[in-house]
Chain A
């Protein structure tokens, strides 16, 4: 269908697209492609080396699968901090990716787990590492006729897994800062949300953690962060608050773990 009508907007849980729906007269005129009745997109499954999410797998689907807590705990941590139960029951991981918000909750933990996006169209099927998916603010490697049909999350030995979301409230809050940190076998993954136009890896912070220093300093994290992210003042927070608090989260989190 997307091949015939590339301007059609895919609709899954609707927890972002339908916000203030009655006021959005123009958007109501658009064509939407409802994915809810496509059964094959909903289910997730575990293979020997990965968790495969469907195109419409919800946050609640993973919260209620005990294996996720055991093998990919950050996915559950993040899912439980999305909105509230009513949103978790409808919101989808793929929708969070395709919506492209820099303040996304699902994207940072997926990225910290080296997730791969599978995007399909009539023409072909592509696999794009999530860490390479975003090109700029709301710009992504997804053509108009492509649909995210699966997200592959590799299983691997991981340690020191953390997800921190700083928000105005414990629930129903958009992140002022999001940080997902994981120590993988080949090095650290540090993923930041709400600190730049896109959710992104922080290579300078990762290099700092990979260097294996005996003792880290708050200044060291602030300096590394400054090359990786570019926080701004907006309605939710200030650049200075974001810089300082993100550095503290890194210092007291991965920077303070037992070697």
Chain B
């Protein structure tokens, strides 16, 4: 019950993960850099645990996860990724992963997760456990949106569509500076730290 298979598109990560696992006495039975080949190899290697990145080429890691889960495979799957936990941890949990570890964390976190999963526990960051309060979060966000006036909302929508400051300025007959002011005000009102966050929020709330 200690055989592990690694799927990650970066050779440094595969090697580093292999080393720390072997150091802990686990046996790495195989590794691969893409989802399509890995689907085949994993069947042959019969691991007890699959460590999976969710942004691997060919077949997206989430897709690999969903397929294996649908096939009722006998091994557990632990997601190791640089994707944002707030957006992806819940999704992975729902798709049948036994755990979720961020590459932003120290790799010792991965060992804790592997131990937990082999002991029959699931291992997720606490953000992933928020879904029970998801409606609350959604409501809170909608509350924030109330403070946004029509004009700001329009600017936000254009940002979310991928328009640049300049394009928005031209389209709305504003100066570049005014568009920047709108952006700042939007970030303030929606409590976002970046334009990327703003856009995510817009998408989450079906603005685009």
**Pair from one complex:** no
Residues of chain A having any CB pair with chain B under 8 Å: none
Residues of chain B having any CB pair with chain A under 8 Å: none
